[in-house]
Amino acid sequence: MSAPRDAAAVEPVVARLSTLDRLLPVWIGLAMLAGLAAGRWVPGLGGALSAVEVDGISLPIALGLLVMMYPVLAKVRYDRLDAVTSDRRLLVSSLALNWVVGPALMFALAWLTLPDLPAYRTGLIIVGLARCIAMVIVWNDLACGDREAAAVLVALNSVFQVVAFAGLGWFYLSALPSWLGLPTADLHVSALGIAKSVLVFLGVPLVAGYLTRRLGERRGRDWYESRFLPRIGPAALYGLLFTIVVLFALQGEEITSRPLDVVRIALPLLAYFALMWTGGFALGRLVGLGYERTTTLAFTAAGNNFELAIAVAIATFGATSGQALAGVVGPLIEVPVLVALVYAALAARRFFPAPPATAEESADARPVPPTP
């Protein structure tokens, strides 16, 4: 799905992407437009898609995420995770960006840009609390980030999401505004509900990817890396496009019927994604991480779990609420912005020194060829 991880020194990485990957912005743009059009003009489509759910989790979205994440997680070398978990610079930086800087930055941007729109402001704060555990894996892989580090960081985010989401919601929506003399809001969310979301959106594809590698390597790592993975790789892009179409079809009418509100919500989101990604990239360079882990740090910091944010907003404030609309606008802005940042990361790769190959990597590092 993505370009080879061992970049040539002379040829820019972007130029060596497959045709499928180079046209990714086009496919995603078409998927967004198709979803918006279908949600707006196909009678009853949004309601039909919303009705197919279990415990508030949309089954079409869950299916798309499973297909999207499975090939990437099947590429992860699970025998190398120890090297990631021992990297304190990466883990501490990720925790600080995701659970301290991210929520605080979204709180500040929401109040600075939407002081007169409390519903949208609350919705954005909820988005800031929902750290990404799904789509970020694909953005990271497209940017040739560290797959093993991404697997560890999203797993870490999932644990903190279950444990800390409700407490942070109370802090940023009730306690902190009260201390500052600002209006407050209440958030009703259960750890069990969040755990179910994590299990579906991360647990299922993670287990599937792990078992695939364990079973596939019994036939030989060379066969698995050079023949099997290239066959399943394109499925990640198809799953991504399907997920985008379904997500935007579910909320197409809401987005297209309130364009001015969408613009107001979009401005702080644009600032948020740009600041979080740039800050993560700069922090990775500052603490001495290589390109791959710096890229992983930046994308895991910038992404958000919009599926969870939308579900929480709907459960607490209703499907037609401003809070829910703010969550819906999130992927409308995040998807094209993070696609652009994938290309920005690839262009910046030339400024990083090539990491020295380990003995194991020298023996078996055969890059998976790009899709034709």
pTM score: 0.80
**Which residue ranges make up each domain of the chain?**
57-231+260-350
Tell me: the pLDDT tens digits for 33-61? Answer: 888 888 778 777 767 776 777 656 677 87
Third-level CATH fold of 57-231+260-350: Na+/H+ antiporter like fold (1.20.1530)
With a pLDDT cut of 90, the percent of the chain lying above it is 33
In this structure, how many other beta carbons lie within 10 angstroms of the beta carbon of residue 220? 12
From CA 309, how far away is CA 302, in angstroms rounded?
Answer: 15
**All residues at 6 or more sequence positions from 294 whose CB lies less than 8 Å from its CB, including other chains:** 280, 281, 284, 285, 352
CB 290 within 8 A of CB 355: yes
In this predicted structure, what is the pLDDT of residue 277? 96
Please list the residues that pair with 58 across neighbouring strands: 53
In this predicted structure, what is the pLDDT of residue 356? 60
Tell me: the pLDDT tens digits for 95-150? Answer: 999 999 999 999 999 999 999 999 999 999 999 998 887 778 888 988 999 999 99
Place of tokens 């992860």: 76
Q: pLDDT confidence of 82, banded at 50, 70, 90? A: confident
Q: Could you tell me the two tokens for 234?
A: 């394109």
From CA 50, how far away is CA 254, in angstroms rounded?
Answer: 14
What's CA 291's distance to the chain center, in Å?
19
CA distances from 222 to 274, 293, 363, 368 (A): 39, 25, 11, 10
Tell me: the pLDDT tens digits for 323-353? Answer: 888 888 888 788 889 889 998 999 888 888 7
Largest Cα–Cα distance of the chain, in whole Å? 64
